[in-house]
Amino acid sequence: MAKYRSSVTALYNKVVNFNVESLFSRHPGPGIPRTVFFNQNLPDSYFDPKDKPKKEHVYPTNQVISSKYTIITFLPRNLLEQFRRIANIFFAFIAILQFFPEFSTISPGLVIIPILIVLCITAIKDGYEDVKRHQSDRHVNHSQVRVLAGGDWVNPNLNGRKSRTFVRGIVPRRRPKRQDVEAGSTTKQDPDIEYDRADSMEEVEHHMFGDAGENIRPHWHKTMWEDIRVGDFVKIMNDEPIPADLLICATSEDENVAFVETKNLDGETNLKSRNACPALTDLHTAASCVSTLNPFTIDCDRPDTNMYRFNATVTRNGEKSSVDVQTVLLRGTVLRNTDWVIGVVLFTGTETKIVLNSGGTPSKRSRVEKQINPQVLANLAILAIMAVVCGIADSQIEAVQYAEGAPWLYGDNVSNDNPKINGLITWAFALITFQNIVPISLYISIEFVKTCQALFIYFDYDIFYVKKNQPTIARSYNLSDDLGQIEYIFSDKTGTLTQNSMVFRECSIAGTVYHGDPEEDEDEDIKKPLGNSTDVVRETSNDSSYASTSVRGDDPAVLSAADVTAVKLSSGVLKHFRDERLSQDLARAVEAEPDSENAAQARSLNGFFSVLALCHTVLTAVDPATGAIEYKAQSPDEAALVQAAADVGFIFRGREKEILLLQTPFSKETERYELLNILEFTSARKRMSVIIKKLDEQDGRLFLLTKGADNVIFERLKAGGDDWKRTTEAHLEDFANAGLRTLTLAYKVIQEDEYEAWSERYHEASTALEDREDKIEAVCNEIEQELRLLGATAIEDRLQDGVPETIADLKVAGIKVWVATGDKLETAIAIGRSTNLIAEDSNIIIIRGSDRPVEHQMIQAVEEFFPDSGILDEHGIASKSPSTESTSAFPMRRLSLGVRDIVGDDNGNRPGGFVLVIDGAALDHALPDDDNKALLLRLATQCEGVICCRVSPLQKALVVKMVKDGLHVMTLAIGDGANDVSMIQAADVGVGISGEEGLQAVNSSDYAIAQFRFLKKLLLVHGHWSYARNGIMIVNFFYKNIVCIGVLWWFQIYCGWSSAYAFEYTYLLFWNSFWTIAPVLGIGLFDRIVDADVLMAFPELYRYGRERTWFSMKSFLIYMLDGVIQSVPIYFIITYAYFTTTSRTDGYGIELYEYSTTMVFATVIAVSLFNGLNTNVWTAWVFFAVFIGIIILWIFTAVYDAISPGWTVTNVYGNNYYLFTSAYFWLCQPLVIAIALLPRYLYRAWQLGYAPGDLEMLRYIRKTRPDLDMATLRSESTRSKPYASSRRRTSSHMSRASIACSSADNLSLDLRMAQDPRGASRTDMSTGIRSVYRGFDFATEEGGVAMRRMQTNLSERRQSSRNLPSIRQSPPKRSLRLFSSLRRKATLKKDD
């Protein structure tokens, strides 16, 4: 029996989880390794004996389609999707049944029309939505890229044909087809043709002066993305997106380096350096690419989803060269700071890594729609029982009463008459009689209402982005009610929460904090010059065509950088840094005497900004339009730091090889420094240092300049200056609490003999064959000791407008917000702080992939932080717990702060809170194993928030599925890049932000918004309204039909259970079309549980949606029972009223339709008023909806009963003469309606008077005090609960404003509190290190190609200098001042 039950359960789950898209999505399976051929023919093995290419050697096109349908699959797939609704299957069965004469009621053709209308309208809606998707796909697929053509070049590799999409099938258009150019062909000049620059190669100078047949020469032809083929040469220009996965052949820069922006793939804002394949660097022009003298092949591994792995081999002239991820450009990245790149296409379309990480477009259904199916099944079960009862009763009555001479059985003695067969026919006819128990108009009404709700969202000006003239668009109309039930939100970081822009906000120098001037005039700051307009250019430019990161000695841009005086805003930096107090201090410092009281401050200011201006890898470029310097940095962090130094007068003027140029207010001449070493930044080191030598006749000292994390710098500081350190730590705490990213700066003066000895050790470590990285780190650590503290910086990763407030309100609404980003851990934590995801008192638990197993890290986290949760007992792994001891003298305790958390099981009773941070490497170990995944999920639900960092697009989707399937909750994913597509598709509701990272996320989303802050109203207002409206509408729909069916059912008692109609059939036919449709539509369109401003002011009301209040099996059963109860007085009171004595004045008996029409009127009026009673807000539209059906019924009855047989034959001709003149008619209407509505009316009266909920009280307040501002009422209620406001940290702007209002003296009063070890902390479970978080974050590429090249150049120069004779004089003993500007100034004064 158990085995049978399990098999039935498995079958049921298989049916329930069936996905239509699985039938129509292509499953090519894992690809195979490939060999791509260039300038040579394909081998014969690529073709079968019929000279047709083998399937495995035909590559997909570069066409990417996010839509669901094509012109061929639309009809079958859409029908399958619609017939997932059980009701549609039932309606089709009933329609087919009535084609048989035994069950015919009216014309079979008319019977099938309703179901056809439902299917057609739904198909039109689905088709319209998909056309929009195709239009978005068209926008991407028709983007232009330069592809090699001409010169007899032919791409021998084979590609499949493009798909014939829905739009192209309906609206065919002529489009240019890519053709290989044949020898000797002549074409006219094409504006889409470009030639290489005349000075690139002498032999192609004539290309610029070609004649009519010049297009046959090698050139670059602009081609649509979808026409790119594997094996094509493409040329990408600066700031252009990469259309496919390419191998780099050559670039415009020295040493063939290119820079790409990968935030569309991994969410990181810093640029990545890539280099060309060494074997192909000579292919830097179209002519060299075309030449048949340059044949080569590329052997590639099978396409896979790993974004950080790429294995291939280039074979040329018999020599093989390896290819890795550092030599490829992936689709979705953008070329930056590089004039051009030439590459070859290796993977296209569905085989590119970004598309492999995205799933097929799912066919999403709302939760309400899924819940309707069980309710329809319940109604079908009731219908089946009613039909069986009618069939059995009719069969038994016929068998028994025929022998008794029942007159209605006259003629039932023929040979083919069988009571059992007649009972079966009665059963089938009962299905037709009571078919309205499952209303066919329900689905079409839902579709109509959801379409209108999508229009309400579209026309809502509050979520309309004026700057881009962009409304919020519902791309999937059928998910509006899901927006009101969201329990988990998964958000991307870059471009979704942040603007991808940095602002240097504050700094602490020698114990003095500079907050920067208020940003009231921020817009003017970006547009207008400020102060001395000749010093700083205060305007931005998106034109980066002039950008160059080249360091060639003859580069005019670099040479002119030493002469120009203007500095413009760097890309990724929003505004200049200004501080009036800092300007005054600098002015005093410049004039300070060496022995004055301002000398120490002058040295600190000079040293602080000199470190900012010199400790980096930034390059300079000159804008030919403005003649201003612009900094080109790999990360916006570095750009903001160098920009801030320039804003206060410390202008980095570029580099000449290894010579750094710096202009400072302390020196009239440009200072020159020789760059000796770069100790690069890594996640493990958490710091970056440079060793420089000042090229000055009077001062040639060596300096170590360092910036990094506070804990790393502080433990390497020289002893002493404790007060200064404590003050700086207090400032760092304030910066971190304001959500700013911090860096600590320090320096050290190095003696030459000390450096010479260290340099030898460093050279030996850098050339070691074993443990090179560890040895380099050890040597670097040696010299990075005894540092002198300078101060700290605070940079704001500018958030989208309203992000902190929106997240705070979503958390108040009970929605759990998780962040999934490809950015590194420190950046993710910093954003968590600034966006309110991590509160000031939150303790951070870090789990990362390391030598220590992830499972042990999770177990220890549960043991240490959640010992009473019972998680380990549930999983039976308590015995596996590793015995570890706390590494801190202050073990973390639950803080008694009087703050109530929202998220997690029993988390609301636990003061304080925890935030889990987990990286992609840890997820790689946790997600594949079911036990580890379950443990991770339970641990995550104990925390108030979760941040997933360094995750791939596929991991984002797996995390969403883990929560959705593991907790059975409603999920929403929001993002703006191609790396968010899989996450958006995996969630129940996907929201795309049309930001700077393209339209890929929007194309795959269900809703498209312009700003993250719009999500608040989309969920709290439109989502809540839609869910409440749809839920109440549906149960009222079932109610109104069960009342009608109940009346028909009671009639069967008096008609021998023959399944006869009590009403005239026309009234049944129009029951769901005219009489009762308007009131339920009025609920679905115009009802409001409360007004929009109330829902926005009180996010807590969203719990009604999360708790599924408005639509559940319980509410369905209550309404069904209410309908059955109401049908009893309607039928029996009217029946016995009419059958006591005749209602006619002439004494004749009444006709069936005479009193059944009275039932129709009573039922319609009672149902309409009942629907009105369930409406919360009565507007003019609601009044119209409630009474229009009643009015139409009266008019129809009067006209229909008056139609004479001369026009058409009806069964009710003349009924109005008896109906409206009968006293029983006028007596029964108010009596029956009042009795029917009395239970619901009494319940509502009791609820409003004695047990009002939040909604009822707020509606009453709005009714009695319509002018009251609900936001004011909210603030009053919040003040009465101090803990409520403490959990809602204000935005970073407000935090900085409040900090700016306080003095440095006031800040020093909080030192003891800032040092309290019981405060919020972070624990790295992989190392056991527990520390206090002070906002450290710095983004840069680790071990990139550009850094390796710089290190190589420095190493080569160092090696060559070792062979030169050492000419060194012992320098005079100097003071430990950082720079000699003050001393030199004093010397000049003495000379005077």
Tell me the DSSP string of 895-916. Answer: --------SSTTGGGSSSEEEE
- C-alpha–C-alpha distance, residues 1389 and 116, integer Å: 98
Report the first-to-last Cα separation within the chain, whole angstroms: 109
Residues in the chain: 1392
List CB contacts of 976: < 8 A, sequence separation 6 or more: 492, 495, 496, 992, 993, 994, 995, 996, 997, 1001, 1002
Q: Which residue has the tokens 């400032």?
A: 731
Q: Contact, 1031 vs 1115, CB < 8 A?
A: yes
Q: Which amino acid is at 161?
A: R
Four-point Cα dihedral 1230, 1235, 1236, 1238, nearest 10: 110
* 983, burial (CB in 10 Å: exposed 0-12, middle 13-18, buried 19+): buried
Q: At what angle do helices 108-141 and 74-82 cross, to 10 degrees?
A: 120
Q: Hey, which bits of 121-275 come out as E strands?
A: 144-149, 158-159, 193-194, 219-224, 233-237, 245-251, 257-261, 271-275
Tell me the DSSP string of 1230-1297. Answer: HHHHHHHHHHHHHHHHHHHHHS--HHHHHHHHHHH-TT--HHHHHHHHHHT-HHHHHTSPPPHHHHHH
Q: Which of 137, 134, 121 is nearest to 171 (CA)?
A: 134
List CB contacts of 302: < 8 A, sequence separation 6 or more: 30, 31, 32, 33, 34
- C-alpha–C-alpha distance, residues 842 and 811, integer Å: 14
Q: Which residue has the tokens 């840069």?
A: 1340
Q: Contact, 678 vs 658, CB < 8 A?
A: no
CA angle 1193, 1195, 1197 (to 5 degrees): 65
Q: What is the CA radius of gyration of the chain?
A: 38
Active-site residue identified among 492, 797, 901, 1201: 492
Q: Which of 720, 512, 715, 518 is nearest to 608 (CA)?
A: 512
List CB contacts of 576: < 8 A, sequence separation 6 or more: 525, 530, 536, 538, 569, 643, 647
Kind of pairing, strands 158-159 and 245-251?
A: unpaired
3-state DSSP assignment of residue 853: coil
| Three-state SS sequence of 750-774 | ECHHHHHHHHHHHHHHHCCCCCHHH
* 1322, burial (CB in 10 Å: exposed 0-12, middle 13-18, buried 19+): buried
Known active-site residue 492: yes
Find the largest Cα–Cα distance for the chain: 142
Q: Contact, 492 vs 974, CB < 8 A?
A: yes
- C-alpha–C-alpha distance, residues 1255 and 1109, integer Å: 12
CA angle 1069, 1071, 1073 (to 5 degrees): 85
Q: Contact, 392 vs 1055, CB < 8 A?
A: no
3-state DSSP assignment of residue 1068: helix
Q: Which of 810, 788, 833, 853 is nearest to 1326 (CA)?
A: 853
**Which residues are tagged catalytic?**
492
